[in-house]
Amino acid sequence: MKKLDVTIVGGGMITNDLLLPSLYHLQRTGAVGPIHICALNTPPLRALKENPDFLQAFPGQDFTPYPALAETPDKDFPALYKEVIAAMPPRNIVVVAMPDHLHYEVVRKALEHDQHVLCVKPLVLQYQHSVEIEKFARQKGLFIGIEYHKRFDRRSLVAKRSYALGHFGAFVMGEAKLIEPYYYRFSNFQNWFTPERTDPFTYIGCHYVDLVYFITGLKPVEVSVLGIKGRFPNGNPAFLWSHGRVIFENGALLSVVNGLGYPDAGAGSNDQGLVMYCEGDGKNALIDHDDQYRGVAHCYLEGLGCGGSQYNYVSPDFYRLVPWEGAGFKPVGYGYDSVAAIISTICRIENETTELPAESALVRRRQMIAEVDDKGIIATPSNSFINELVVEAARMSILSDGAPVKIVYGDQPHVEPKS
Ligand SMILES: NC(=O)c1ccc[n+]([C@@H]2O[C@H](COP(=O)([O-])OP(=O)(O)OC[C@H]3O[C@@H](n4cnc5c(N)ncnc54)[C@H](O)[C@@H]3O)[C@@H](O)[C@H]2O)c1
């Protein structure tokens, strides 16, 4: 089997908490070859190199950092990722893990250099950009997987199947919540999570809007989002809280509450869940997912919880390092499943077509990508474009004090203020 080289662009929290350990595991199980990571500067790269969990879980595994660690920590290299991507052999993998507003240019650069892409959500912030990216990728037979890992949570997959089987009737009224920890305010978020660029709905609310679409297949048609502003410790302004309302094509309503504010002392580590009421014939049904407390609580001797707490709701479902039959520890959970699904899809596409003449390989790659689009499990630009429309509408709404914004489908989907 051909192993694929991986370049991660962005060395921040999501790279540390999910992407790199997942890729290390895929490296030792055979899908992934050498791993390169390009960040803006050296401090996050050094932190990844020295992360004691990785040293313990993935003995002997490593990545190549860009810039090199010998560079001074205060020197930025904003364009270095372009050189790193340009130096890759064609049809390997670029993992995009930068701040939201930079995804578009990195994904474009990856496609220009014939690379398949795994992009953290949201793919891009404008629908037109997603259309352009999708077209470009299709032309070249390159796969783009968007890492909406909540789709891989078993409870989402079970709900999707049951909804399709008609076990719930029609979604009518729901509530989604995802409040990230207070300590996020002290992170690198201070440098990019500013009101003109993003907000809590765009950052994390999009997960649950995508999930309702994933479970029901219903398209959102109207979005309004109100934000509450505050300041990061470095003085930068931000929307620290948001309250959204999404209307779906059948008239169903979803409230979406988001923020960077779950107490560090809480058992969290964040607060999240989804409730969906559904109308049946003469009776009603309900989907109720508590995504915070998953039935496991650990009280440590010391404050080992993410925010320094001792008593913790430990989710074994998203991402954990656990003992396994091989060396070190392995990542488990729907976060890992999601990364693995995207990477193995790319490997399958490459391995099935690598021996074919160029022209038939291109045709076959396009066919295989279309099959993944149709299956609708891995989010792709083609099967999850509603998210770009929702994000675009949400940005327009939150910047105009919660004014409702319509999503218009048809030949040329777009968003427009509701008159
Ligand atoms: N639940 C999720 O799916 C989830 C969770 C967290 C983050 N994310 C997404 O991941 C992305 C990154 O978030 P994060 O939490 O890791 O942010 P972060 O601020 O911790 O890290 C951002 C990284 O991007 C790097 N970067 C910035 N400009 C760069 C450049 N020009 N060249 C190379 N590297 C550059 C920085 O060095 C930093 O390492 C965001 O799009 C976010 O929405 C998704």
pLDDT tens for each residue of 159-212: 999 999 999 999 999 999 999 999 999 999 999 999 999 999 999 999 999 999
Tokens at 368, concatenated: 């295989």
pLDDT (mean) for 149-168? 98
> What local confidence, expressed as pLDDT, does residue 306 receive?
86
> What local confidence, expressed as pLDDT, does residue 173 receive?
98
State whether the beta carbon of 54 lies less than 6 angstroms from ligand 1. no
Residue 334 pLDDT more than 90?
A: yes
pLDDT (mean) for 316-345? 97
**Element (DSSP H or E) covering residue 164:** helix 154-164
Distance (angstroms) between ligand 1 centre and the Cα of 332 equals 22
65 closest CA partner among 87, 94, 42, 85: 42
The whole-angstrom separation of Cα 79 and Cα 94 is: 15
**Element (DSSP H or E) covering residue 256:** strand 253-262
The whole-angstrom separation of Cα 56 and Cα 51 is: 9
Tokens at 383, concatenated: 């099967």
State whether the beta carbon of 39 lies less than 6 angstroms from ligand 1. yes
How many residues comprise the chain?
419
State whether the beta carbon of 389 lies less than 6 angstroms from ligand 1. no
The whole-angstrom separation of Cα 257 and Cα 239 is: 13
39 closest CA partner among 60, 13, 61, 59: 13
Distance (angstroms) between ligand 1 centre and the Cα of 221 equals 29
219-273: per-residue pLDDT in tens?
999 999 999 999 999 999 999 999 999 999 999 999 999 999 999 999 988 999 9
273-297: per-residue pLDDT in tens?
999 999 999 999 999 999 999 999 9
> What local confidence, expressed as pLDDT, does residue 419 receive?
84
Contact 263, 240 (CB under 8 A): no
Helix%, strand%, coil% for the chain, nearest 5: 40, 25, 35
Confidence of residue 129 (pLDDT cuts 50, 70, 90): very high
Tokens at 121, concatenated: 């959500």
Greatest Cα-to-Cα distance within the chain, rounded to the nearest angstrom: 69
381-407: per-residue pLDDT in tens?
999 999 999 999 999 999 999 999 999
57 φ/ψ sector (left φ>0, alpha ψ -120 to 50, else beta): alpha
> What local confidence, expressed as pLDDT, does residue 1 receive?
85
Confidence of residue 368 (pLDDT cuts 50, 70, 90): very high
Confidence of residue 350 (pLDDT cuts 50, 70, 90): very high
Residue 307 pLDDT more than 90?
A: no
- Name the average pLDDT for the chain: 97
